[in-house]
């Protein structure tokens, strides 16, 4: 067994020495399409470096054999296995020691970067003397650790700040964003950004005729000076505070402290970096964010079970949703045809697509290529070639049914028919089809380009292969599939609605909307419910509420109807609950001496949780974990809390149930606990008993 794992380990990376005595060290983690740095691979890399020192090549080039990139980061799964702070410190220090060894090699080293070069991958590259990156938009360099509730720990924060100055370095680390090869070159992170065909020769040239390593400009160097740091640190803290609260997301603040206190002493900073990451990684925020990340991986993995490889997509209905779905599919490389009742109705969608392509692709050629992939097709000729036909026409069952009658005979064998309906059960739509089992829901959210989650809607009659194909398609266009059953509101809208309606009730009782929103933000929602309702549009909220209200016995507040009748539809009409100036909500200041009522947050959040529990009981979703992921990605449910079910577990189901009962007594039936709470409470108790035993 030892021998087997050793052989495996060896193949995860290997070195070839060429005629110029240059060592080419290839990363090629076995059994996966992506290189990640597990503790075992780091050890194997360390061994390889020791052997290379013995061999004394002229230089070292580190590269990846994977098509998708260099190294995507550390193995996040291992982050959940650290038992305590000390174990975390020693794991991090081991990683630092490996990269220190790389940085101290007596010969030049080059990281040859294509595709993903993130987190630990970029930290490794930073420990090399030089870096060369491919100059396409698909090459992404970044340190996204803050998104997992930590910051770089393998020397990344220590090496990046002196290399490019604090402004670029902190911007990357605090935002977690990634940049392409050219932007990395402009910042000074890489020495060269070149086309694929020149990558190896650029690396070779750096080894054969090594220049001085990159140095920051005077101004960049000054940004790390002891006198400047306190001032800049204040600016960074201010910027971060606009995006994330310290009590919810401590990592960016810890990074700023680390840099401010230690940036002039590399050794001290290394030590403090390890301590700081160990503190963060064993804390609740990081553990919950890591959990959410792993749940996301679970949803991504759902697409792996089929060899369905859709290339041609036909979208019917070029309105808000259909137009944007078509544009998104074309952006992700699909051949798309888009039909509607007339060419005039398609034109605005094509215009919006162009704006999206410009924003995302930036350069004329890829923009033109994406435009070429998106064909206006008002006669609907594309149906015959399509692997996936997506219907996104008016929300009217009869209109949809008559369209399906026309579409089905023209569709290819093996193609799937998907509806974007947000409320009509599949059962009401499919009986016009010869093959009723081939209809599936692929429910995108608005705005399509921003909302990663897509609900995959099925019922007992839906062919499971069709569901698998719908999931595979969703992954192909880089969205997150969430399988749900065809029940009213599916998961996301159903759970959001009681939360939004309770916010409307509160507003109607005279609680200032700004206070309602503030409390939701304090809980960790990305946007307050009042502003969210205004943003979605109060007419749309009313429509969904009336629709769902019938099924779920949720009363629709008169206040919502009144606002819609007055033409106050939210942001799009310039006024809703708030007034809007240049698209921004004007939130009146709270009255002096205002003391908010204690129940505000509970009323909103508990109604949402009650619906979550109902969905679990009704098996709207099969896996409890999927529900947490769906809520985080579909509703923005406070990611640092790890999802609603995880939150219930952390708070104690019994405690929350009691609070819900109290509210029921005070405010009536809409707080009536769902019977599912008994199960959830029992489930949590059981876990606790096992844990203690």
Point out which residues bind ligand NAI (CB under 6 A): 316-322, 339-341, 345, 392-395, 399, 403, 420-422, 444-446
Query: What's the angle, vertex CA 254, arms to CA 253 and CA 258, rounded to 5?
Result: 120
Nearer to ligand NAI, 189 or 631 (CB): 631
Q: How far, in Å, are 162, 286, 652, 653, 658 from residue 684 at the CA level? A: 49, 22, 7, 7, 15
Closest distance of CB 376 from ligand NAI, Å: 12
Which of the following is catalytic: 26, 262, 314, 443? Answer: 443
Catalytic residue list contains 443: yes
Closest distance of CB 389 from ligand NAI, Å: 12
* Residue whose Cβ sits closest to ligand NAI: 319
Closest distance of CB 260 from ligand NAI, Å: 44
Give percent helix, percent strand, percent coil of the chain, each to the nearest 5.
55, 15, 30
Nearest-angstrom CA–CA distance, 55 and 256: 41
Position of tokens 């779920």? 552
Count of beta carbons in the 10 Å neighbourhood of residue 616: 24
Query: Which residues on neighbouring strands pair with residue 388, listed in sequence order?
Result: 313, 416
Closest distance of CB 424 from ligand NAI, Å: 7
| Distance between first and last Cα of the chain | 33
489 touches 457 (CB < 8 A): no
Q: How far, in Å, are 425, 466, 494 from residue 422 at the CA level? A: 9, 19, 10
Closest distance of CB 524 from ligand NAI, Å: 24
Beta strands 584-586 and 579-581 are antiparallel
Closest distance of CB 394 from ligand NAI, Å: 5
- DSSP assignment of 228-268, as one string? THHHHHHHHHHHHHHH--TTT--HHHHHHHHHHHHTT-HHH
Q: In the 8-state DSSP scheme, what is residue 392?
A: -
Nearest-angstrom CA–CA distance, 312 and 300: 21
Closest distance of CB 543 from ligand NAI, Å: 9
Q: 505 φ, ψ to 5°?
A: -55, -45
Nearest-angstrom CA–CA distance, 71 and 28: 9
Alpha helices in 28-84 (DSSP H): 39-55
Give the active site residues.
443
């Amino acid at each position: 067994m030892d021998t087997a794992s050793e052989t495996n380990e060896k193949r995860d990376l290997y070195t070839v020495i060429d005629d110029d005595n240059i060592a080419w060290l290839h990363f090629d983690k076995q059994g996966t399409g992506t290189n990640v740095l597990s503790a075992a691979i780091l050890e194997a890399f360390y061994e390889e470096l020791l052997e290379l020192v013995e061999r004394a090549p002229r230089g070292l080039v580190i590269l990846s054999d994977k098509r998708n990139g260099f190294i995507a980061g550390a193995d996040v799964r291992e982050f959940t296995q650290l038992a305590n702070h000390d174990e975390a410190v020693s794991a991090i220090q081991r990683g630092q020691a490996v990269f220190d060894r790389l940085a101290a090699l007596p010969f030049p080293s080059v990281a040859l970067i294509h595709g993903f070069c993130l987190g630990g991958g970029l930290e490794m590259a930073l420990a090399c003397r030089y870096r060369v990156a491919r100059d396409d938009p698909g090459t992404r360099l970044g340190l996204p650790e803050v998104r997992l509730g930590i910051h770089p720990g393998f020397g990344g924060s220590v090496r990046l700040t002196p290399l490019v100055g604090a402004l670029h370095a902190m911007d990357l680390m605090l935002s977690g964003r990634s940049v392409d090869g050219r932007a990395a070159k402009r910042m000074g992170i890489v020495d060269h950004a070149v086309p694929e065909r020149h990558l190896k020769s650029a690396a070779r040239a750096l080894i054969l005729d090594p220049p001085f390593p990159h140095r920051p400009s005077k101004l960049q160097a000054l940004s790390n000076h002891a006198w400047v740091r306190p001032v800049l640190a204040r600016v960074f803290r201010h910027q971060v505070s606009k995006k994330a609260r310290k009590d919810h997301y401590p990592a960016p603040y810890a990074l700023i402290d680390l840099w401010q206190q230690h940036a002039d002493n590399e050794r001290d900073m290394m030590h403090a970096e390890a301590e700081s990451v160990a503190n963060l990684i064993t804390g609740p925020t990081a553990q919950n964010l890591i959990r959410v990340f792993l749940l996301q991986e679970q949803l991504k993995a759902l697409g792996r079970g089929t060899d369905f490889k859709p290339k041609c997509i036909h979208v019917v209905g070029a309105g808000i949703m259909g137009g944007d779905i078509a544009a998104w599919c074309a952006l992700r490389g699909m051949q798309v045809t888009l039909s509607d009742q007339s060419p005039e109705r398609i034109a605005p969608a094509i215009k919006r697509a162009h704006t999206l392509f410009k924003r995302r692709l930036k350069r004329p050629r890829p923009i033109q290529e994406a435009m070429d992939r998106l064909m206006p097709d008002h006669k609907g000729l594309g149906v015959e070639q399509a692997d996936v036909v997506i219907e996104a026409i008016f929300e009217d069952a009869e209109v949809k049914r008559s369209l399906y009658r026309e579409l089905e005979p023209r569709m290819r064998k093996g193609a799937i028919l998907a509806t974007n309906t947000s409320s009509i059960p599949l059962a009401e739509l499919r009986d016009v089809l010869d093959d009723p089992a081939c209809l599936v829901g692929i429910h995108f959210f608005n705005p399509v380009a921003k909302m990663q989650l897509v609900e995959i809607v099925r019922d007992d009659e839906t062919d499971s292969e069709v569901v698998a194909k719908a999931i595979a398609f969703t992954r192909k266009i880089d969205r997150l599939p969430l399988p749900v059953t065809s029940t009213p509101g599916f998961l996301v809208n159903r759970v959001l609605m009681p939360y939004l309606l309770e916010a409307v009730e509160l507003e109607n009782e005279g609680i200032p909307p700004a206070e309602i929103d503030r409390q939701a933000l304090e809980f960790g929602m990305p946007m307050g419910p009042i502003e969210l309702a205004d943003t979605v549009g109060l007419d749309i909220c009313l429509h969904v509420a009336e629709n769902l209200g019938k099924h779920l016995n949720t009363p629709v507040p008169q206040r919502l109807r009144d606002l819609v009748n007055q033409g106050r539809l939210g942001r799009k009409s310039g006024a809703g609950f708030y007034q809007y100036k240049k698209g921004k909500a004007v939130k009146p200041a709270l009255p002096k001496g205002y003391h908010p009522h204690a129940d505000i947050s509970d009323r909103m959040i508990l109604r949402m949780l009650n619906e979550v529990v109902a969905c679990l009981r009704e098996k709207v979703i099969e896996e409890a974990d999927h529900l947490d992921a769906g809520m985080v990605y579909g509703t923005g449910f406070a990611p640092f809390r790890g999802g609603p079910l995880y939150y219930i577990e952390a708070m104690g189901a019994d405690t929350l149930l009691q609070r819900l009962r109290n509210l029921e007594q005070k405010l009536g039936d809409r707080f009536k606990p769902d019977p599912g709470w008994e199960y959830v409470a029992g489930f949590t108790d059981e876990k606790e008993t096992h844990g203690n035993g």
